Amino acid sequence: MAYQEVTTTGYGTRVGNSFKAIGSGFLMFVIGTALLWWNEGRAVKTEKMLDEAGNAYVEMENPNKKDASLDGELICGSAMATTEDSLSDAQFGIGAKAIALRRSVEYYQWVEHEQTKREDKLGGKEVTTTTYTYSKQWVSSPVQSSQFHDPAYQNKNTVFTTIDDAEQYAENVSFGAYKLPESLIHRISSREAMDLTIAEDLLKQFDKSTQAAYERFYGVQKSIQQASQPVQQPAQQSAIPDSIRALLPDSVKAKLDSLQAVSDSINKQMANAENKKDLAYIHQAGNVLYFGRVPGAPEVGDVRVTFEKVVPAKVTVMAVVDGDTFKPYKAKNGKRFQTLVMGKKSGDEIIDAEKEANNMILWALRIIGIMIVIGGLKGIFGFLETILKVVPFVANIFGWGVGIVCTVIGIVWSLIVIALAWLFYRPLLGIGLLVLAGFLVWVFAFKGKDKLKELAAKNSKNTQPAPQAAE
pLDDT tens per residue, range 333-342: 999 999 999 9
When pLDDT is averaged across residues 302-313 and rounded to a whole number, the result is 96
Distance, in Å, from the CA atom of 125 to the CA atom of 118, rounded to the nearest integer, reads: 10
Global pTM reads 0.76
pLDDT tens readout for residues 90-131: 999 999 999 999 999 999 999 999 999 988 888 888 899 999
Angstrom distance (rounded) from CA 33 to CA 49: 25
Q: How confident is the model at residue 268 (pLDDT cuts 50, 70, 90)?
A: very low
Mention every residue, 6+ apart, whose C-beta is less than 8 A from residue 462.
Answer: none
The DSSP bridge partners found for residue 296 are none
Confidence of residue 267 (pLDDT cuts 50, 70, 90): very low
Is residue 284 over pLDDT 60?
yes
For residue 329, pLDDT over 50 is answered with yes
Amino acid at 167: E
Question: In the prediction, which pLDDT does 340 show?
Answer: 97
Q: 353-396 pLDDT, tens per residue?
A: 999 999 999 999 999 999 999 999 998 888 787 787 777 777 77
User: Does position 237 have pLDDT exceeding 60, yes or no?
Assistant: no
Band of residue 10 on the pLDDT scale cut at 50, 70, 90 = confident
Q: Across all residues in the chain, what is the average pLDDT?
A: 85
* Mean pLDDT, range 243-266, rounded to an integer: 57
